[in-house]
Structure 1
Amino acid sequence: MVVIAEIPSTEYVLNCTSACAGCGDSLALRYVLKAAGPDTILVMPAGCTAAFQGVYPKTAYALPVVNIAFAAAAASASGLSTFLRAKGKKTKVVVYAGDGATLDIGLSAVSGAFERRTDFLYVCYDNEAYGNTGMQRSGATPIGAKTTTTPAGKPEIKKDIDTIIAAHEPPYQATACAAYPQDLFRKVQKALTFEGPTFVHILTPCPPGWRYSAEKTVELGKLAVKSGIWALYERENGKLVISAPTKAAMKKPVPLEEYLAPQGRFKGIDSATVALLKGRIAENFRRLAAEEAGS
């Protein structure tokens, strides 16, 4: 188990970002880059993280960054990784992309890079909407959540990107949450020890988009895990291991209502949708437990 004291003190996300107060994305990025270290190139499509890095020629990131079009991050990373490996360089190539760029606009490029066995880490930071352009619904928006394009609540379920990635049989993939930095740091470190494509999917609560008070980001992230609506696990060469916080939630989950209530995006959610969410949590727990047990 990683403890906070073992996480490097070097900062690669500097204090001059223009991120919103309480931004779960910037918190996650901080630990991703601490795990990756200085010999890293960050590939970043359009999104919140690209927006709050600063205005050229200044940047808030103390690492090389390739800013790339929304749909092209994984394709760009494929070319960059191939070039570096041909030159005998072990520089880490890390894509850091939002849910819109991953689940929707860039999905074909992501699939192609994983099918080609690109040697890179793809990180999806998931604030469950298009946060940078006003919080429109994405494929990652959960059912019942209000966005600017689903003002009555999204009627469709959240797209299961982790199962899509698992179908490509990467050597390593994991889920994480910005509210659990030690778990996140360890999983990113581990992902970067593998050759080939690896994937880390991070829940990053968003105060303005989710409509909660900015100081509650860590609390909301932990409630997501403790209620089971966000499960933490890792899959190494096809073998699934459920992370400790989710194992605890499987035994005694926090009521889902405690997670939903502080968020304005779920204001007025009907009981049938809450029941559907609870049913999906129970089914996901069942499925994960069965896979971990090998059955």
Structure 2
Amino acid sequence: MNDKVLNARTLTDDEFFYGHKACPGCGGSLAVRIALKVLGRRAVSVLPAGCMSAVGFNFPQLAFANNSIISTFAGTASMMTGIAAGYRAQGITDVPVVGFAGDGGTADIGIQALSGAIDRNDDILYICYDNEAYMNTGIQKSSLTPYGSSTTTTPVCGGGKGNLTDKKNLFEIVAAHGIPYAATATVGNMPDLIKKIQKAAGIKGTRFIHVLCPCPVGWGIKSSDTVDIAREAVESGLWVLAEYQNGEFFLSKKPKEFSDVKNFIKKQRRFAHLTDEDIEKITESRNKKWNYINNVYNN
């Protein structure tokens, strides 16, 4: 890894993820593109069935300039383990092994393999691009779908309220393993995302970064609003930027004053059915979460 501090000015002009078939404004493709620019050409990427494998592997075209492979849906982390072990057996130590999996492929289908990799402390970097539903197969609910969100498996027709469960706290689930490094990030704050990927690349053992990546199709937003809506998720307090290292949690950013949750919610078609009472419940949940964070996380 390059030791110089990476930012918009110093990041390479080389592209390692291009010519893909992602939808306009896709947050996931933006996260993959930036991560590979930080990690460099020698990085080997592993992707399960999901949006990024669907848009990046279109025979005979490969949208990756580096070595990349599709894993089984449940086996992203275990395939990364095997690749890292293969390079280690050859005495090769300068090849970053990175996985890119969506929220369903990480928090649901792939969590067992991820847990095992963390338990073994395999030298891999796992990046979850979280668009908050199974977007590639038709916008079905995952365990990272937020409360109230309309999906094809949590519809609002017939008086339904959308998803009735809260978003799983994946960041703290991963941290509970005692992982060497974990972080949350968003495509709405690129300097923070770049910094955390570079930091993770310089740490040995299993590293995990959970990136909020808005999906214009599934969220019901304009393709030009992806970065702004991701930024607003942080400003409204509904997405927390944080790190976990050496057994401690650290806040990366603490808004001085939260922006209006209702304004954020109403910009997204997936929440169009929510009432003021529903939004108040979401706001109360946010406040409760931040009371906990202020007591546990280092500011």
Question: Shorter-chain TM-score: which interval?
Answer: over 0.9
Unaligned runs of 5+ residues in structure 1 are none
Aligned to 1:256: 261
Aligned to 1:34: 37
Aligned to 2:159: none
Aligned to 1:125: 129
> Which digits, 9 at most, give the CA deviation of each residue in 1:184-214, with x for residues without a partner?
1110111111111000000000000001111
Query: Structure 2: how far apart are the matches of 1:233 and 1:19?
Result: 28
Aligned to 1:24: 27
Aligned to 2:223: 214
Query: Structure 1: how far apart are the matches of 2:52 and 2:136?
Result: 9
Residue 131 of structure 1 aligns to which amino acid in structure 2?
Answer: M
Asked if residue 229 in structure 1 is aligned to residue 238 in structure 2, the reply is: yes
Aligned to 1:160: 169
> Which digits, 9 at most, give the CA deviation of each residue in 1:37-59, with x for residues without a partner?
11210010000000111412321
8 Å contact kept, 1:240–1:291: yes
> Which digits, 9 at most, give the CA deviation of each residue in 1:91-116, with x for residues without a partner?
11101000000011111111111111
> Which digits, 9 at most, give the CA deviation of each residue in 1:47-79, with x for residues without a partner?
000011141232111111111111011111111
8 Å contact kept, 2:46–2:100: yes
8 Å contact kept, 2:7–2:194: no
Aligned to 1:96: 100
Alignment partner of 1:253: what SS? coil
8 Å contact kept, 1:136–1:150: yes
Aligned to 1:110: 114
TM-score scaled by length of structure 2: 0.93
Q: Would you say how many aligned residue pairs link Structure 1 and Structure 2?
A: 289
8 Å contact kept, 1:145–1:154: yes
Query: Structure 2: how far apart are the matches of 1:287 and 1:192?
Result: 30
Query: Structure 2: how far apart are the matches of 1:273 and 1:25?
Result: 28
Query: Structure 2: how far apart are the matches of 1:283 and 1:166?
Result: 20
Of residues 161, 165, 184 in structure 1, which corresponds to 2:193?
184
Query: Structure 2: how far apart are the matches of 1:276 and 1:195?
Result: 41
Asked if residue 79 in structure 1 is aligned to residue 88 in structure 2, the reply is: no
8 Å contact kept, 1:134–1:148: yes
Aligned to 1:199: 208
8 Å contact kept, 2:233–2:239: yes
Larger displacement relative to structure 2 (129-138 or 73-82): 73-82
In the TM superposition, residue 34 of structure 1 has moved relative to its aligned partner by 1.1
Query: Structure 1: how far apart are the matches of 2:298 and 2:22?
Result: 41
> Which digits, 9 at most, give the CA deviation of each residue in 1:114-154, with x for residues without a partner?
11111100100000000100100001100100001111210
8 Å contact kept, 2:6–2:198: no
8 Å contact kept, 1:173–1:198: yes
8 Å contact kept, 2:187–2:212: yes
Query: Structure 2: how far apart are the matches of 1:79 and 1:54?
Result: 21
Alignment partner of 1:88: what SS? coil
In the TM superposition, residue 2 of structure 1 has moved relative to its aligned partner by 5.2
Aligned to 2:282: 277
8 Å contact kept, 1:35–1:186: no
In the TM superposition, residue 263 of structure 1 has moved relative to its aligned partner by 0.5
Alignment partner of 2:136: what SS? helix
Residue 21 of structure 2 aligns to which amino acid in structure 1?
Answer: S
Alignment partner of 1:75: what SS? helix
Residue 273 of structure 2 aligns to which amino acid in structure 1?
Answer: G
In the TM superposition, residue 280 of structure 1 has moved relative to its aligned partner by 2.2
Residue 29 of structure 1 aligns to which amino acid in structure 2?
Answer: V
8 Å contact kept, 1:50–1:67: yes
